[in-house]
Amino acid sequence: MLMRQLIFLTMIALLAGCAVNPVTGKKELSLVSEKQELAIGAQQYAPARQSQGGDYAVDHELSAYVSRVGQRLAAVSDRKLPYEFKVLNSSVPNAWALPGGKISINRGLLTELKSEAELAAVLGHEIVHAAAKHGVRSMSKGMLLQAGVAGAAIATQGTDYANLAQMGTGIGAQLITQKYGRDAERESDFYGMQYMVRAGYDPQGAVDLQRTFVKLAEGRRQDWLNGLFASHPPSQERVQNNIELLASLPKGGDLGVARYRTKTARLTRTKPAYEAYDEGREALAKGDRAKAGRLAQQAIALEPKEAHFYGLLGDVEQKNKRLKPAMLQYDKAIQLNPNFFYYYLQRGKLNEQLNLTSQAQADLERSVKLLPTAGAYNSLGNLAQKAGRLTDAKGYYAKVAGTEGELGLQAYGALVDLDLKDNPAKYVRVRVGQDAQSRIVARVSNPTPRNISRIVLLIQYRDATGKTQQLRRSLSGTVAAESQQLFDLDLTGKLTQEQIKTLQSGIAEAQVVR
């Protein structure tokens, strides 16, 4: 995998080579072409947002306002890109940019800002990350890990939805959680403030923002450390740099304090609702269903339009084994926000339990379209298997089998059950050779979670005349799950040392022990 990635990057290097950075004007090595840069952003934007709680859908006016501020800055940036700005439904104070100008800011950061200029400072800073290719530069340097490790990286972010999203976010998960490094941060602060001036904002907003950040960092609140500060460590040095730059910039410009207060009024007013919700999620994770239910009701009383709150109530009912009431809550959540994967995933699994097959199928398919998850694919596998669509079932289980955790193991087992007879060599491995006593033996490895027996080996060697000889050997006994075993092939003394060197082997047959 890594090798393939390296070869791939080397190939691009030959195509792309050196390029001038559109923001700094410096020449730099660029291993990722612009076409690819745009493609990464376009592909990763939606799943990355889903895994962070989805778009904030309660107040469309606020979303439109944030987008307008972003576009006002983007219009004066040094690079034309298909910029987009979304507000994410997460309390974690954070903002990020994907390559190609796909930018998000969390609800939890908006409530900490005091003016439109501060918002412009955040968005301007992120615009520079995208325009100056900071994300793809890390990719070029090979600083990003492979997709498999990325799941773990995003899971440590501590949001409930990210924990489910171990598939499908791959490189996007790393791009939004990575540290760009000091130079990139300084560059983003510097050009971000220039863009603020060009767009008519008072760059004082950037200084205010950094001051607030330093104060917040001293408080060491965990949500900040997990959020913005993980990728953007604040420092007195950054405040100082911004103050110095401010002195050299033209005075005046728009601060937009009153306008910002008006636009974020609903969000500010309903902040306690989201705090109750977050606390409720925590309570449910600890098993306190009554408390979680109470907090969800509290949240709904303050903000009845938020779908997440009904999703939490649905989860409480589902844990209480009250499937029909749970279903009603997920229905409500979907009614309020039809664009979030989680409600479909949960309702799909309920429908599966209630044997409402076609509804389950529709919900789960919808959910993986929004965000591929192991849970949805596993349930789709179960449905396909029950309906006798075994090829489909194998395909679904195979997607889950590679993921971490209990579900991955379960799907791996289900896949072996369905597929071992047809493709034994895919699951069981064999090597033939001589042991310390010069016996000819086969080492059979069974990495699967199933006990496997009735193994038949196909053995080949070249005889004295150079002709290939083939023989089959049935092995007696069982190779236990996740273990290996040596078998005497009963060939000792029958082959010459020369012939032994030409030995090859494969798995012809194998069966799961029922």
Provide the binding-site residues for Zn ion, judged by CB under 5 A: 185, 188, 232
Give me the least distance between CB of 35 and Zn ion, in Å please: 25
Give me the least distance between CB of 220 and Zn ion, in Å please: 20
How is residue 308 written in tokens?
Answer: 């997440």
Q: Which amino acid is at 397?
A: Y
* Residue 240: CB atoms within 10 Å: 12
Compute the C-alpha angle 273/276/277, nearest 5°: 85
Q: Please spell the DSSP secondary structure of 163-180, one letter per residue.
A: HH--SS-HHHHHHHH---
Helix (H, G, I), strand (E, B) or coil at 321: coil
Which C-beta is closer to Zn ion: that of 232 or that of 263? 232
Give me the least distance between CB of 379 and Zn ion, in Å please: 39
Which C-beta is closer to Zn ion: that of 107 or that of 238? 238
Q: Which residue is nearest to Zn ion (CB)?
A: 232
Angle between helices 170-177 and 147-155 (to 10 degrees): 50
Give me the least distance between CB of 339 and Zn ion, in Å please: 28
Which C-beta is closer to Zn ion: that of 196 or that of 307? 196
Give me the least distance between CB of 372 and Zn ion, in Å please: 28
Which C-beta is closer to Zn ion: that of 107 or that of 134? 134
Which C-beta is closer to Zn ion: that of 186 or that of 294? 186
Which C-beta is closer to Zn ion: that of 188 or that of 361? 188
Give me the least distance between CB of 75 and Zn ion, in Å please: 21
Which C-beta is closer to Zn ion: that of 85 or that of 277? 85
Give me the least distance between CB of 175 and Zn ion, in Å please: 12
Contact in structure between 314 and 324 (CB atoms under 8 Å): no
CA atoms within 13 A on the CB side of 220: 0
Which single residue is written with the structure tokens 């498999």?
Answer: 148
Give whole-number Cα distances, 46 to 40, 168, 368, 405, 506, in Å: 11, 10, 12, 25, 44
Contact in structure between 462 and 511 (CB atoms under 8 Å): no
Q: Which of 215, 209, 277, 284 is nearest to 241 (CA)?
A: 209
Which C-beta is closer to Zn ion: that of 188 or that of 241? 188
Name the DSSP letter for residue 438.
-
How is residue 451 written in tokens?
Answer: 């006990």
Give me the least distance between CB of 70 and Zn ion, in Å please: 15
